[in-house]
Amino acid sequence: MNMNEDLLVVTELKKHFKLNKNSTLKAVDGISFTIKRGETLGLVGESGCGKSTVGRTITQIYEPSSGQILFANEVVHSKRGKQEQKKKKRNMQMIFQDPYSSLNPRMTVMEIISEGLVIHSAELSLKEREVKVNELLELVGLNKKHSQRYPHEFSGGQRQRIGIARALAVEPEFIVADEPIAALDVSIQAQIVNLLKKLQKEKELTFLFIAHDLSMVKYISDRIAVMYLGKIVELTKSETLYEKPLHPYTEALLSAIPLPDPNLERSRKQIVLKGDVPSPIDIPSGCRFRTRCPKAMKVCAELEPAFMEVEKGHYVACHLHDEKVMSRQDAVPINVELS
């Protein structure tokens, strides 16, 4: 496996939902990123920022409004070749957030996990599918004797393991994990994340790990992209993001993570953002974070920041790190009057 090869390339991806004649919800509004083979890219941000829509558009649950997604150098949302599209869907699977609603309550575990095999591996006999499902159950830490049970007979953590087994059934290269631990007890979350890391190593998997818990994302991700209101505002290596965040929104998110040392926790300053996240139906002009940003300038209302590389491998969309913008006369704090 070539670790330097881009498996997924997303370019200017947009996903807009038309609500009525006069309003459009801009869930994803022009984002670009790459994921290398064997890598885990963490995608973080507040609820409603468009993270899950990104994952669902990549895995072809949604059609993009515009932009391009390349998977293994092939266009994902292509209108031609049903067999090719089926192959791409097989290679890109999803683990859903809620293990309680993502599993069909009327199907046994055997039926749930083998569903993908029926669609994508029709040549397998019933006996071969049963053997495959039993192997998958043991792989994710469940007892193969429970294959005839129904989802309601399992705990939340066990159900998520079933969801992971279902995603692995068709042997994908790429998995979108959409907040896979959000609905689980804290004691179970670490077990699921450790399982995903173990499976990634054994199966040579590539992950897009979507979450709002920055502390857990740091543990599992090689790089992290921070999303706000349909846009990626910062993207860099995991360690770099925590040691040197550049975007004010990233700084605020990191300041909310509790520290294990009570003395350090008491001494540090937490950044409290004012107001609520604006509606994706009515996005602010210029920088969409300016209405809540403690460092907002007059120029932020007029000019949308470019997503640019300010240090090697460190991308940010903020005027504070754009020399051309900072030399302008209106690059002053909003509470300072221009002379």
| pLDDT tens digits along 179-191 | 999 888 888 999 9
**197 belongs to a structural domain:** yes
In this structure, the answer to whether residues 201 and 249 fall within a common structural domain is no
Number of domains in the chain: 2
**93 belongs to a structural domain:** yes
**Which residue's entry shows tokens 């990626």?**
232
Q: Which of 241, 264, 294 is the last residue of a domain?
A: 241
| pLDDT of 264 | 61
**β-pair type (223-228, 40-44):** parallel
Phi/psi for 235 (5° steps) reads: -150, 125
In this structure, the answer to whether residues 281 and 318 fall within a common structural domain is yes
**273 belongs to a structural domain:** yes
In this structure, the answer to whether residues 232 and 278 fall within a common structural domain is no
For 217, the domain range is 6-104+171-241
**159 belongs to a structural domain:** no
The answer to whether the predicted template modeling score (pTM) of the entire model surpasses 0.85 is yes
Beta bridge partners of 231: 228
Strands of the sheet containing 66-71, edge to edge, are 24-36, 6-18, 66-71, 74-75
| pLDDT of 277 | 87
Q: Which of 191, 209, 241 is the last residue of a domain?
A: 241
Instruction: Read off the CATH number of the domain in which 195 is found.
Output: 3.40.50.300
- Name residues of the chain where pLDDT drops below 70: 1-3, 79-84, 86, 258-268, 335-339
In this structure, the answer to whether residues 202 and 264 fall within a common structural domain is no
| pLDDT of 10 | 97
pLDDT, tens digit, for every residue of 258-301?
666 666 656 667 787 888 889 999 999 999 999 999 999 999 99
In this structure, the answer to whether residues 271 and 223 fall within a common structural domain is no
| pLDDT of 79 | 66
Closest alpha carbon to 56 in 19, 31, 93, 86: 93
User: In 10 A of CB 299, how many CB atoms?
Assistant: 21
Between CA 29 and CA 45 the distance in angstroms is 15
**322 belongs to a structural domain:** yes
In this structure, the answer to whether residues 201 and 251 fall within a common structural domain is no
In this structure, the answer to whether residues 187 and 257 fall within a common structural domain is no
**21 belongs to a structural domain:** yes
**148 belongs to a structural domain:** no
Between CA 302 and CA 304 the distance in angstroms is 7
Q: Which of 216, 241, 266 is the last residue of a domain?
A: 241
Give the burial class of 163: count Cβ atoms within 10 A of its Cβ; 0-12 exposed, 13-18 middle, 19 or more buried.
buried
**162 belongs to a structural domain:** no
